[in-house]
Amino acid sequence: MTLLKEIQPSTTQERKRFRLFQNRWWIGAIIVCLLVLGAVMFFAKGGQNVPRVAPQGHMTAPAIPIVAVAVKKGDFSVYLSGLGAVTALATVTVNSRVDGELINVLFREGQIVSKGELLAEIDTRPFEVQLLQAQGALARDQALLENAKLDLKRYQDLVKKDLIATQLLDTQDSLVHQYEGAVKTDQGQIDNAKLQLVYAHITAPISGRIGLRRVDPGNIVHATDTGGVAVITQMQPISVIFSLPEDNLTQVLGKLRSGAKLTVEAYDRDQKQKLATGTLLTVDNQIDPSTGTVKLKALFPNRNDELFPNQFVNARLIIDVKHNALMVPPEAIQRGPQGTFVYVVKSDQTAALRPITQGIVQEGTSLITSGLTAGELVVVDGADRLHDGSKVEVSAPNSGEPAPQRQYK
């Protein structure tokens, strides 16, 4: 400002130029101040995202968020999978064994019935009449037989005294045999009539679940009807027939010859829900050449009716069980030029690269044969951002909560 005062212009035109220069100088000074102030604010705010410098002068990288789970130790089932269908051990169509009017149906559709339980009744009056007729014929023929026997005895005495011809004795003896045959026939008619009365009461031939009623009361049923009154299906126990590739046949037969009791598990169509557990019953005696598979039959108690005839299932034949096996999720397994490895979370919250040996993978679980110990934390999500020694922030699966801290050797 002192300098400006010293160079005051003398003419009017010089004074105008001087004032213009003086205004531009103030504008420039204000712009410079604003630029300086903006730069200070920018660096002050941006400095929050700049990695801090440690006392030793090294940059400290932020912790990488990852998800980790503990290595589990337990029994690992090795199984063979095949498609199968539930098959009843017995299915019986309940038919009438006599002709007549169906007068009573005693079962409920879908009911569980026992062997010998009364299911339906047929009008018994025609069979009662037949029984009465047969009994009357038997009484008549028995009376004739008794009289013929008395005559035979008289003829025998007369023949001994030589009072009648022997021919009469032979004729009477033949008549006795005829009446004996008639009595036996009459007894057969009585037994048949009684049997018809028994057949008029339709009972369950097996135990199981009865289906829908096929004939209503009031209809005339015949022994030759093919549809029957109802169908009974045995539900307990029940079987599952499934197929396995022929390459697995030797392994399965070897287990059966050794006397092993192989477990079979039945799963639903999506292989998510286990329906029932049973045992392998037998193996078919031939291989299907068109599919290269062999059929196997498993038996299930089915106490709670988990399985239903003709139901589609996924069968798992457990061929072996490895005890005290180490298991991790398949997501934890990484592969690189040096082979298979996982990232293990150490006690100082850093990730360490650990080479491992992986076994088979089943049911979303990988078997680890070497390289890990039970309880160690392995990374299952976020491993693609890690390297050996990375600082990590551990979270439990399916949550944002920190995973429990463990101390490892």
String of DSSP letters for 129-198: HHHHHHHHHHHHHHHHHHHHHHHHHHHHHHHHTT-S-HHHHHHHHHHHHHHHHHHHHHHHHHHHHHHHHH
Residues 251 and 134 in one domain: no
Q: Does 405 have pLDDT greater than 50?
A: no
Q: What angle do CA 276, 280, 285 make, to 5 degrees?
A: 135
Residues 131 and 115 in one domain: no
Residues 292 and 353 in one domain: no
Residues 251 and 156 in one domain: no
Structure confidence at residue 6 (pLDDT): 47
46 inside domain: no
Q: Does 102 have pLDDT greater than 50?
A: yes
SS3 (DSSP) at 206:
coil
Q: What angle do CA 111, 301, 252 make, to 5 degrees?
A: 145
Query: Mean pLDDT over residues 315-330, rounded?
Result: 91
Question: Which of 12-16, 62-66, 116-120 is least confident?
Answer: 12-16
Residues 216 and 114 in one domain: yes
Residues 101 and 223 in one domain: yes
How many C-beta atoms lie closer than 10 Å to residue 260's C-beta? 13
Would you say the C-alpha torsion 5, 8, 13, 18 has a positive or negative sign? negative
Q: 311, 87 in Cβ contact below 8 A?
A: no
Residues 352 and 388 in one domain: yes
Strands (E), 47-89: 64-70, 72-87
Radius of gyration of the chain (CA): 50
Cα dihedral 75/81/87/88 (nearest 10): -10
pLDDT in tens, 128-150: 999 999 999 999 999 999 999 99
168 inside domain: yes
Label residue 103 by pLDDT band (50, 70, 90).
very high
271 inside domain: yes
Residue type present at position 299 = L
Residues 318 and 328 in one domain: no
Structure confidence at residue 384 (pLDDT): 86
Of 216, 231, 246, at which residue does a domain stop? 231
Question: 134: buried, middle or exposed (CB in 10 Å: 19+, 13-18, 0-12)?
Answer: buried
Structure confidence at residue 16 (pLDDT): 58
Residues 362 and 343 in one domain: yes
Q: Does 358 have pLDDT greater than 70?
A: yes
How many C-beta atoms lie closer than 10 Å to residue 101's C-beta? 14
Of 322, 349, 381, at which residue does a domain stop? 322
Residues 246 and 219 in one domain: no
403 inside domain: no
Query: Mean pLDDT over residues 43-50, rounded?
Result: 48
Q: 236, 86 in Cβ contact below 8 A?
A: no
Structure confidence at residue 395 (pLDDT): 82
Q: Give pTM, 2 decimals.
A: 0.65
Instruction: State the CATH number of the domain containing residue 243.
Output: 2.40.30.170
Q: Does 175 have pLDDT greater than 60?
A: yes
The whole domain housing 107 covers 94-119+205-231
Identify any residues that bridge with 311 across adjacent strands, giving them in sequence order: none
Structure confidence at residue 150 (pLDDT): 94
Structure confidence at residue 50 (pLDDT): 43
How many C-beta atoms lie closer than 10 Å to residue 352's C-beta? 17
357 inside domain: yes
Q: Which residue has the higher pLDDT, 337 or 85?
A: 85
Residues 287 and 274 in one domain: yes
pLDDT in tens, 111-124: 999 999 999 999 99
Of 187, 214, 231, at which residue does a domain stop? 231
Structure confidence at residue 208 (pLDDT): 94
Question: 81: buried, middle or exposed (CB in 10 Å: 19+, 13-18, 0-12)?
Answer: middle
Domains held by the chain: number: 5
316 inside domain: yes
pLDDT in tens, 255-314: 999 988 999 999 999 888 999 999 999 999 999 999 999 999 999 999 999 999 999 999
Instruction: State the CATH number of the domain containing residue 160.
Output: 1.10.287
- Element (DSSP H or E) covering residue 353: strand 351-355
Residues 255 and 313 in one domain: yes
State the chain's mean pLDDT as an integer.
Answer: 86
59 inside domain: no
49 inside domain: no
Instruction: State the CATH number of the domain containing residue 212.
Output: 2.40.50.100
